[in-house]
Structure 1
Amino acid sequence: MKSLKTKPNTGKRFFAGLIDYTIIYGFTFMLIFGLGTRDEYGTYSLNGFPALIPIALWLVLTVILEITLGATLGNSLVGIMPIPSTGHQRKLTFIESLKRHLLDPLDMFPLSIIGIITINNTLNNQRVGDIWAKTIVVSEKHFIENPI
C-alpha cells in the first residue's frame, strides 16, 4: 500500500465539529427546557431516564453515524472522513470511533486551540482523539479516486 498523505484541513474539521455539536447541544438545550424540572433559582435539570437522552444522542450522532456511514453529519457536509491511521480505506470500528470522540472535549477546549495545534504539528495531522484512536482524517475525494 502506498503512503497516504494527509492534509490539516483545520477549517473543514472546525466547521464539521461546529455542525455536529450545534445539533447535539441545540437538541440537549431544548430537551432540558422541555422535559427538565425548574428549581427555586430558575435553573433546569434533567433527572432519571431523560438525563440519558443527550448521551444517547451524542453516541448516535458521532459514533454510530461514523461507523455506519463512514462520517458524522458535519464531516459529510464538509467532505472529510476518518479512517484508520494504517491508511486502509474502511469505516472505523466502534472502539476507534468511540476513542476519537471521547476526547472531543479536550480537542475542542478552549476554542479548539488544542485540536488545531495538534492537527498542525503532528506528522499525520491528527488531533489528540485521532492519536489515541490511531485514526487519520482524509478527504472523501480520496475514497472516490481510490475506491476500496
Structure 2
Amino acid sequence: MKFKHDYQLSTKPNLGKRLVAALIDYGLIMSYFLLMIYLYGEPNDEGGYSVNGLPGFSITVVWFILTIGLEQMTGSTLGNKSQGLKVAPKTDPRKSLTFGQSLKRHLLDIIDLWPFGLLAILTIKNTEYNQRLGDLWAKTVVIDSTDPEQGLQTKE
C-alpha cells in the first residue's frame, strides 16, 4: 500500500534487535511459567507437571500484560523498549497502537516464532516494510526509534 501523503514510511529489518527483544520478552514469560510449575505444579499422567486453577490462569494474564498490555499502552514491550524498538500503525506511525492491533500481532506469535523464528525472519526479510505475519495482519510496523532513517521521511 503506497501512501498519498507528503511523507513516506521507511523501515529496516532490525533482525538482531528484534531477536534480542523477543528473547527478553519470552524469557520473562517462560521464567514466570517455570516459577508457577515449581510452586504449583502437580504430576500428571504423561510424566510431566500441570498447573491448574488460578496459578495456571495467571500465566496467561502475565503473557497478556507483558505483551499486549504494555505494547498497547506504551508502543513497546519490555524487550522492544530495551532495544529502542517501537510498534506503530503502518498507515501513520505517529499514531498510537490500538488494543486490536496489539492483540492481532501477538495472537500470531506462536506461528511467527515457530520453528525457531524462521517464519518471522523470512517474512521480515521479504516484505516491503519488514513485517512478520502478526504485523501484516495487524497492519503495524516495527521501527527503531534510535535510527533517524526509520519512520516517516519527508518526500523531496
Question: Shared fold by TM > 0.5?
Answer: yes
- Please point out which of 127, 132, 143 is paired with 2:132: 127
Change (3 A) 1:137 1:47: same
CA distance in 2, matches of 1:5, 1:41: 50
Deviation at 1:29, TM superposition (A): 0.9
Counting aligned pairs with the same residue, the percent is 43
Matched, 1:141 2:153: no
Deviation at 1:50, TM superposition (A): 1.7
RMSD of Structure 2 on Structure 1 (CA): 1.9
**Residue 88 of structure 1 aligns to a residue in which SS?**
coil
Deviation at 1:43, TM superposition (A): 2.1
Aligned residues between the structures: 145
Partner in structure 1 of residue 114 of structure 2: 109
Q: Could you say which structure has the greater relative contact order, defined with CA pairs below 8 angstroms and 6 or more residues apart? A: 2
Contact 2:21 2:83 in 1 (8 A): yes
Q: Which runs of 5 or more residues in structure 2 are unaligned?
A: 152-156
Higher helix share: 1
Q: Which runs of 5 or more residues in structure 1 are unaligned?
A: none
Deviation at 1:38, TM superposition (A): 2.3
**Residue 124 of structure 1 aligns to a residue in which SS?**
coil
Deviates more, 1:118-127 or 1:86-95: 86-95
Change (3 A) 1:133 1:104: same
Matched, 1:65 2:70: yes
Matched, 1:88 2:93: yes
CA distance in 2, matches of 1:111, 1:88: 28
Aligned letter for 2:18?
A: R
**Residue 51 of structure 1 aligns to a residue in which SS?**
helix
**Residue 137 of structure 1 aligns to a residue in which SS?**
strand
Contact 2:36 2:56 in 1 (8 A): no
Higher strand share: 2
Deviation at 1:87, TM superposition (A): 2.6
**Residue 9 of structure 2 aligns to a residue in which SS?**
coil
Partner in structure 1 of residue 42 of structure 2: 37
Contact 1:33 1:44 in 2 (8 A): no
How far does the alpha carbon of each residue in 1:56-81 deviate from its partner, in whole angstroms, 9 at most, with x for none?
A: 00000000001112200000001111
Matched, 1:20 2:22: no
TM-score for both structures, normalised by structure 2: 0.86
